Homo-oligomer: A and B are copies of this chain.
């Protein structure tokens, strides 16, 4: 018997991704967001939902570009800070001593210290309610060499992304390998 817990934003897992933008003066900003996911394969696209009140919202509206930087669990403290402080008041890159690297593809910076980054130009903007969904076409993905597997793809066990638990407000790391996708369920076919 399942228990109702009401119409809440409760789903597991959610990502911990850092949205990189420039403001009007060219100051780089980084904001942690969890309401985000890949949303199309062709064109490759990723969506992130932001409140209008955020500094990043205005930046993306003006520049029509953003990056997603995926922090490793080693940077959980910085990732948490980047979701609390606002770029209206501080330079969050300076406060965290993280490096704002200018993308050579889109008008936005990414976090140099994070192992996986995604460069996007906005192709759709959808007002949902408190949050606005920005959908960015993925122009490139870049990864630190030390997180690549022998086929040249980022390995989740090396990148060690952070997982967020809404409502309970917890961060977790990646756990044990459970199986290969499109394989472990094949005997049911």
- A contact residues vs B (CB 8 Å cutoff): 1-15, 17, 34-47, 49, 51, 68, 70, 73, 76-85, 95-96, 116-118, 123-124, 126, 128-131, 133, 135, 137-145, 148-149, 152-157, 159, 161-189
A7-B80 CB under 8 A given contacts A145-B1, A171-B179: no
Question: Distance in Å from the Cβ of A125 to the closest Cβ of chain B?
Answer: 10
Q: Which of B13, B77, B117 contacts A15 (CB 8 A)?
A: B13
17 extra A-B contacts, CB within 8 A, seeds A6-B140, A8-B141, A173-B178: A1-B145, A2-B117, A3-B148, A4-B141, A7-B43, A7-B138, A8-B44, A10-B153, A14-B37, A14-B38, A15-B37, A35-B40, A77-B179, A96-B188, A149-B168, A153-B167, A162-B178
The copy count of this chain in the complex is 2
Residue from the list B131, B173, B188 in contact with A40, Cβ < 8 A:
B131
User: In the complex, which residues of chain B have a beta carbon less than 8 angstroms from the beta carbon of A80?
Assistant: 179, 181-186
Residue of A84, A85, A163 ringed by the most chain B CB atoms within 10 A? A163
Interface pair A177/B170, CB less than 8 Å apart: yes
Which chain B positions have C-beta within 8 A of A73? 178
Task: Judge whether A172 and B165 touch: CB under 8 Å.
Answer: no
Enumerate chain B residues within 8 angstroms of A173, measured Cβ to Cβ.
175-176, 178
